[in-house]
Amino acid sequence: MAVSDPLLVGIDLGAGSLKISIIRSDGSLVSEASAPVATSSPHPGWSEQNPNDWWSAACDALRRGLKASGRPASDIAAISFSAGAHTQVLEDADGIVIRPAILWNDQRSREETQQLRDKADARILQIGANRANPTWTLPQMLWLRTHEPESFARVRRLYVAKDWLRAQFTGTWETDTIDALGTLMLDAQKGEWSKELCDMIGWPMATLPPIVKPSAIVGKVTAKAAQATGLAEGTPVVCGTSDTAAETFGAGMVREGMGVVKLATAATVNVLSPKAQPDFSLINYYHVVP
């Protein structure tokens, strides 16, 4: 039977905490909760998190948020996710996380970034619509190949942060167009994984996930996830996207020339353009609505 006042759940994985919001279809807030997420820096310039901490935080925040809502979990019509771009989780053939996730603000791949710039600076910009820097997955994975070859060889699946977290709810493997672009392994014009970019670091393309729209329904909450989180089994799960893409859309940046200033762990000035603006001084992302 249809719910007269259906609710939606948004789950956002931030740099310091995981936050959940339960809202009505008109956007009004019903309840919210958060749980801290620890970051480690084993060496200067390094920034890592344990993905299993994300899942623990999500279970904690969801149970408290659902309780605070005063509504049954069956009233939740769908859930979706956002998180910082460029943060990846690597799994082996058994689905085991290989190492801590390298965050977007990690700077360990400075040398690898320079190697890529020396080798193919203009070509990377031409294909990926962005310049290599230590934030992006491409130089980060070149660092992995150089410094942790055993880990590199074990990789069978690459997830972006919000996609790995979502997979704990659905058991599925995919990413959205915007987070795919954020790896610097995507052909920005074709919207497909780029063999040329992957070959620059010897990255196996079979480890890269299928690409869907941010609004795509990618699965349902499994029985195991329902038991852990308090959500209802079978609740539809929407792919979601990177935090900045979701935030700028939510702030109303929907027409050409509109802009949004974001103040967070990193501050950004975002402007909506009808096409990519490849430039060494700019960062390009797709909009949530193609």
User: How do residues 236-248 score in pLDDT, each as one tens digit?
Assistant: 999 999 999 999 9
CA distances (Å), origin 6, targets 61, 76, 217: 20, 6, 17
Q: Which of 163, 176, 179, 243 is catalytic?
A: 243
Instruction: Identify the DSSP state of 105.
Output: T
Query: Which residue's entry shows tokens 């509504």?
Result: 71
pLDDT value of position 1: 55
Q: What is the dihedral of CA 125, 131, 136, 140, to 10 degrees?
A: 90
Q: What is the pLDDT of residues 68-122, one digit of tens each?
A: 999 999 999 999 999 999 999 999 999 999 999 999 999 999 999 999 999 999 9
Q: What is the dihedral of CA 285, 288, 289, 290, to 10 degrees?
A: 30
CB 230 within 8 A of CB 244: no
Do residues 250 and 258 lie in contact, with contact meaning Cβ atoms separated by under 8 Å?
no
**Does residue 204 contact residue 120 with C-beta atoms inside 8 Å?**
no
Contact 280, 131 (CB under 8 A): yes
Rounded mean pLDDT of 138-151? Answer: 99
Over residues 252-273, mean pLDDT: 93
Pairing between β-strand 7-13 and β-strand 17-24 as defined by DSSP bridges: antiparallel
**For the domain bounded by 7-242, which CATH number is listed?**
3.30.420.40
**266: pLDDT confidence band, cut at 50, 70 and 90?**
confident
Average pLDDT for residues 16-40, to the nearest whole number? 98
Segment 171-187 shows an average pLDDT of 98
CA angle 190, 251, 3 (to 5 degrees): 95
Angstrom distance (rounded) from CA 189 to CA 202: 22
pLDDT of 190 > 60? The answer is yes
Q: Check pLDDT > 70 for residue 66.
A: yes
State the chain's mean pLDDT as an integer.
Answer: 97
Instruction: Give 188's contacts (C-beta < 8 A, 6+ positions apart).
Output: 127, 128, 129, 130, 181, 276, 284
> Hey, CA dihedral for 265, 182, 51, 149, is it positive or negative?
negative
pLDDT at position 167 is 99
Write the pLDDT tens digit of every residue in 206-234.
999 999 999 999 999 999 999 999 999 99
Which residues fall within 8 angstroms of residue 67, CB to CB, at 6 or more apart?
230
194: pLDDT confidence band, cut at 50, 70 and 90?
Answer: very high
Phi, psi for 78 (deg, rounded to 5):
-170, 160
> Domain residues of the chain, as ranges?
7-242
Catalytic residue status for 243: yes
